[in-house]
Structures are given as structure tokens and as C-alpha cells.
Amino acid sequence: MNKNQLVAAIRERKNYLCVGLDTDVNKLPKHLKNEKDGVVHFNKAIIDATKDFCVSYKINTAFYESRGLQGWKEMEETLQYIPDTHFTIADAKRGDIGNTSAQYAKTFFETLPFDSVTVAPYMGEDSIRPFLEYENKMTIVLGLTSNKGAQDFEMQKIGQEHLYEKVLKIVSGWGSPDNLMFVVGATQATELSNIRNIIPNHFLLVPGVGAQGGSLSEVSKYGKNEEIGLLINSSRGIIYADSSESFADVAAQEAKKLQEEMALYI
């Protein structure tokens, strides 16, 4: 799914919700914990329950890579199960010298055919360029995050501007709104107006709504553009909303609540 198809899906389904499949084997419902394919069964049930209320799924690769070969198989099977009507994100935060990044790009755009992947910009253009060479794929660059450590570098001033502002300005020139997206944490909603002044036409991937305390209304108010331009991610607030055998039904209810609120802002 490319950017234009994503925009069309948002308009049609009246939401810009991304469901995060940050599936921790230790947090599975009790009846799935001892199943060999418990993670896959859990993910498939979540996808079936929420697909009508979202436009995207984000797989945090760390929760799968940490489990070795079994985890990689689970990630691949989960990705294959996601309908092609939904935008897929590999939340991998890769970034290395060019020839290494080329292998990472191949991993997440070919071997595992995600629509997009998150990357870190610290090493500069040659570390991101291999991802941008792929047609109809989105490279999602870390912009302004919500973690405490954002103060260490991202919010530091370089002359009259913050480092994150400089990153947005420079990186946006390496591609276009068709192949570049930026991560902006939901708890940084007060910075969204400024960010929109810098990158008015790019999509923003916004984690942190729900369990992390971000405000959907504020993010929508200050972050939207003419194409909506937002993917708001909710992970724990949806997939771990219930730990009983009814977990998927409760996940659907939580996703539906977000979808209905988003419809008001479109």
C-alpha cells in the first residue's frame, strides 16, 4: 500500500488508527500462554477483531526478534495475515552505514514485504538513502519522540532551533511526502503546530495515545493536514485491554471507540 492508497483508506474508513502488535509472550491470555503458536493465534484474533476499525498495523520487531527463529516465523506469519487493504509498518528503528542499511531495507521491503519501516537518522543521509530507493514504500524517520531521553539530544538547541527541527528540515529534503514519514510522540502535542510549519505535507506516525497518556483530540487538532496526514498508533490500550478469553472482543471495542472519535475529526 502506497501513500495515496493510505489516504484513500483513511477517507473511506473514517479513521487513521494504527494498531500496534507489540505482542509480549508473557502478556498473552492464560489460555494461549502454553500454546506453541500462541503469539500467532493472539495476533490473528486481534487482526480479525480490529481490521474494520483501523487502516494500519505496526509490528514492533523487538518483541519477535528477541525470541529467535520462532519469533521471526511468528512475525512473518503475522505479516502475511494482515489484509493488503491495511498499511503495514515494521517498527525496527534501523540505521547504519549504507551497505548495511541496504540489507536492512531488503529485509523489511523484500524478505518481509512491509509497506514501511522506521529508521533512525543519526548517521545521516547515506544511512537512509537505501530505504528511499524502493518505489511505493515509506521510510519513517524518528523525529521527536516522547521518551525522557528526548531531552538529551532532540530538544537541545543548535543556534536558534532544536536538533529535532534541524533533522526534520534536512531529512524532508532527501525524499518527498510520497516516501517519507516522521515519528512524533503523542505526548509532544504542543510541538505539533511547529512541526506542521516545517513539514506541512508529510504523514506523521504518532505513538503514545492511550496507555502512554497522549491526547487524541490534541494530536488531531494540531497534527492534521489536508490529507489527514496522521497515523495514530495504539498498542497496549487495544491488544491488552482484556486478558480473558474475550480479549479480542474487548480489543474490538477499544479500537471502535478510537475509530468513532477519529471520524469526528475527519
* Pairing of the two strands 230-234 and 203-206: parallel
Residue 237 pLDDT more than 90?
yes
Q: Is 229 helix (H, G, I), strand (E, B) or coil?
A: coil
DSSP for residue 55: S
Under 8 Å between Cβ of 46 and 248: yes
Catalytic site residue 93? Answer: yes
pTM for this predicted structure: 0.96
Q: What is the pLDDT of residues 47-96, one digit of tens each?
A: 999 999 999 999 999 999 999 999 999 999 999 999 999 999 999 999 99
What is the number of alpha carbons within 13 Å of residue 83 lying toward its C-beta? 13
Q: Is 140 helix (H, G, I), strand (E, B) or coil?
A: strand
Q: Which of 27, 73, 93, 166 is catalytic?
A: 93
Q: Calculate the dihedral angle through the C-alpha atoms of 209, 19, 106, 131, rounding to the nearest 10 degrees.
A: -40
Helix (H) or strand (E) holding 162: strand 161-162
How many Å apart are CA 1 and CA 75, to the nearest integer?
A: 19
Angle separating helix axes 247-265 and 216-223, nearest 10 degrees:
40
Within 10 angstroms of residue 174's Cβ, the number of other Cβ atoms is 16
Cell triple for residue 107?
529485509
Q: What is the pLDDT of residues 165-198, one digit of tens each?
A: 999 999 999 999 999 999 998 776 778 889 999 9
How many Å apart are CA 90 and CA 92, to the nearest integer?
A: 6
User: Can you list the domains of the chain with their CATH numbers?
Assistant: 3-265 (3.20.20.70)
Alpha-helix residue ranges (DSSP H) falling in the chain: 3-13, 30-33, 38-50, 62-65, 68-81, 98-106, 125-132, 163-172, 192-198, 216-223, 236-239, 247-265
pLDDT averaged over the chain?
95
